[in-house]
Structure 1
Amino acid sequence: MWGNATPGAIAARFARLVEQLGGDTAAAKAMGQQRDLMAAVGASEPATLNQVSAHVGRGAPAVSRAVDALVRAGLVQRQADPDNRRRLALRLTDEGRQFLNRPPAADGSLEARLGRLASSELRALERGIEILERLPR
C-alpha cells in the first residue's frame, strides 16, 4: 500500500497489529484470538475443528470451546457435514464475515493525531508498520 497512507488506514493497521501482538489488555488479546479463529474458519470453509486447531496452533478442546462462544454470538455456524455426519462443518455467518472484514476499532484520537502529520511522516509510519507486520510471531 505504499503511497496510500491515510490517517484512517494507518490507525486501522496499527490497531490490527496491536491486536495481533497481543494488545495491552486481556480484552485486546481475546479479540485477536477470536479474529484468528474466525480467519481460520473462513480460510477453510467448510472448516473442520481439526483444521481450525491446526491453523491457530491450539488444541481441539480449547478451540471447540472458543468456537462454541462464536456460535452463541452468531458469528460462526456449525452444521453436520453432509458427506460425513460425524464431522461438523464450520462456516462464518454473514455477521461473522462482516465482523472479520471490518478493521479492528482504531482509537479515533489516534486517527485525529495522525491527521496532523505531513504526508512524508505518514509514509514513514506506514513503512514502519510494514516492517513490524513482517516480524515473525
Structure 2
Amino acid sequence: MSEKISVNCQAKLSEAITCLTTMYRDKKFVVVSLRPGKDRTLDQNSLWHGMYKRISQMTQIGEPDDARRYCKLHFGVQILLNEDAGFQAEWYRVMRHLPYETKLAMMGECHLFGPDGFPVTSLFNRAQGVQYTDRMSAYFTGQGVVFTDLLGEVAA
C-alpha cells in the first residue's frame, strides 16, 4: 500500500499526518519520503489533453489519442533522449530498432505498457513538461493549430 499526498494547504497537511499515523499504527514500519516543490501538475495534464483534442480537430492526425501518441513519440521521447542518459540507453537498446508504426502504436494503450502506453510524459519533471508543451505548441501552431485560448488559461 503506497500513498502519495501533495501538501499545498492545511487540510492536505492534516490528511498526510492522519495517513502517516494510521499506517504507523497498523504496520509499525513506514517509509517516508519528503521533498519540496510541485509534481507535474494536473493543470499540465489537462492542458495536454486539451491540446491533443485541438490538434485532432484542426489537423488530419486523427483522434485525440492519435495526437497524443504522435506528440509523445516526436516531442516527449526527444526530450528524454536529450536529458536522461538512462532513458536514452534503454530506448536505444529496446525501442530504436522497431519500425516507426510500432513505436507510434506503443505510445498509446497496449497490452505491454497498459492504458497509458510506453512511459514518456509520466517520467517528466515540471521543466520537461513545459518543454513538451512548448514543442507541441510551436510545431502545431506552424501547422495552423490555434492554442492561444488554452495556453492563456494556464498563464492566468
- TM-score range relative to shorter protein: under 0.3
Larger radius of gyration: 2
Determine which structure has the larger strand proportion and give its number.
1
TM-score calculated relative to the size of structure 1:
0.28
TM-score calculated relative to the size of structure 2:
0.26
